Structure 1
Amino acid sequence: MSSHLEDTSLRFAMGHFATGVTIATTLEDGHDHAMTANSITSVSLEPPLVLVSVRNDSGWLDAVDSSGVWGISLLPESGRPAASWLSTGGRPLYGQLSQIPHHRGELGVALVDDSLATLECRTYAAHEAGDHTLVVGEVVASRADARRDDPLIYYRSRYTSTR
């Protein structure tokens, strides 16, 4: 038996793990960089840390390495078009958020207006792990809309909802 698991086998198995969908943003040299991310997790409450898993060849990773600050917007069902757009390969480098209503947080990063919650982070550590880097951020600001309970879910390679 081979010691290497086939990529498609792992992808299929992990596709059965439902996750929330987020938009990760950073600001570098006056330009917003954004991507869809579903591999985020809370790491610690003291200090307040979260992590996002990012492909090593991602332009977002390069930009956040330079800026040291980033934001996470947890998306509701209505965020599906934004999530689809920001997971599309080959999209323009600049103007990625031009069609997505957003505002600036305390750190200057873009945060999606229509979000369940937002986090603003300063990079705390980065750990290369295979073809991804785990970017750990110290949360310096967070907000949540207690009235919302309509998360966008990613399950079996497609967007869905809890309804």
Structure 2
Amino acid sequence: MTALAMMETMPPVNVPAPVVEPSTPTFTSRQFRDAMGQFATGVVVITTEVDGETHAMTANAFMSGSLEPPLVIVSVACSAKMHERLQRAGRFGVSVLAKPQLSVSNHFAGKPSPDYAPTFLSLCDMPVIEGAAVQLAADLQHAYPCGDHTLFVGRVQELCLDGDCGGPLLYHGGRYAALNQLN
């Protein structure tokens, strides 16, 4: 019997993760935040509906989790109002903002402008931001505690993509940034 054939017939082995004692970091929370800010991200608005009322917040901790099934992940601070609302609703929307939507981002980040009034569309009965580069609706599948945040995993039920939105709204180093094309 070849080594490959032997491996194929062996049961999987669960290897325990090494136990690592937490140590005190040599940096401050502010230094960690500044360091993580060096990773450029897109900007999204997370939405949900609770008791017939729409709730939304700006975030940049968003990523795809899986293609099959289609999963997305948002990270929300435990202290944020949205945290409890996502748990209650069991569903959420994500709107990936386009470059012209700076006022939308600021509005849902707690810096409203008198010149801006949010406009929502309904996608699979979930509110999303009109004019976003991507809009998706997801059912909450998992919630994983992660320090002072929770990672909410949603299974995407529907999405819309606007390829002519003018490019993404980016965030880098604590401020909005522009994408410079290399080609």
TM-score normalised by L of structure 2: 0.80
Q: Helix, strand or coil for the counterpart of 1:26?
A: strand
1:63-110 residue CA offsets vs partner (Å, 9 max, x unmatched):
111111100000011111111111117x8xxxxxx811221111x221
Match of 1:16 in 2: 38
C-alpha deviation, 1:148, in angstroms = 3.1
Give structure 2 stretches of 5+ with no counterpart: 1-22
Q: Give the match for residue 26 of structure 1.
A: 48
**Alignment equivalent of 1:99, drawn from 117, 141, 150:** 117
Q: Quick one: which of 117, 136, 143 aligns to 1:126?
A: 143
The equivalent residue for 2:155 is 138
Q: Distance in 2 between matches of 1:148 and 1:84?
A: 18
Distance in 1, Cα, partners of 2:75 & 2:128: 19
For 1:50 and 1:101, the matched residues in 2 are separated by: 23
Tell me the distance in 1 between the aligned counterparts of 2:105 and 2:162: 19
Provide the secondary structure at the position in 2 that maps to 1:146.
coil
SS at match of 1:27: strand
Listed as ranges, the matches of 1:24-103 within 5 Å are: 24-88=46-110, 99-103=117-121
Q: Distance in 1 between matches of 2:168 and 2:160?
A: 15
Write 1 or 2 for the structure with the bigger share of strand. Answer: 1
Q: Percent identity?
A: 33
Amino acid paired to 2:105: A
Q: Which amino acid aligns with 1:130?
A: G
> How far off is 1:145 after superposition?
1.2
Q: Output the aligned Cα RMSD.
A: 1.6
Deviation at 1:3, TM superposition (A): 2.3
SS at match of 1:162: coil
Amino acid at match of 2:82: W
What is the SS of the residue equivalent to 2:118?
Answer: coil
Does the CA contact (< 8 Å) of 2:91 and 2:138 recur in 1? yes
Max Rg structure: 2
Number of aligned residue pairs:
154
Which sections of structure 1, spanning at least 5 residues, go unmatched?
Answer: 92-97
If asked which structure has higher relative contact order (CA below 8 Å, sep 6+), I would say 1
TM-score, normalised by the number of residues in structure 1: 0.89
Query: SS state of the match for residue 103, structure 2?
Result: helix
8 Å CA contact retained: 2:99, 2:166: no
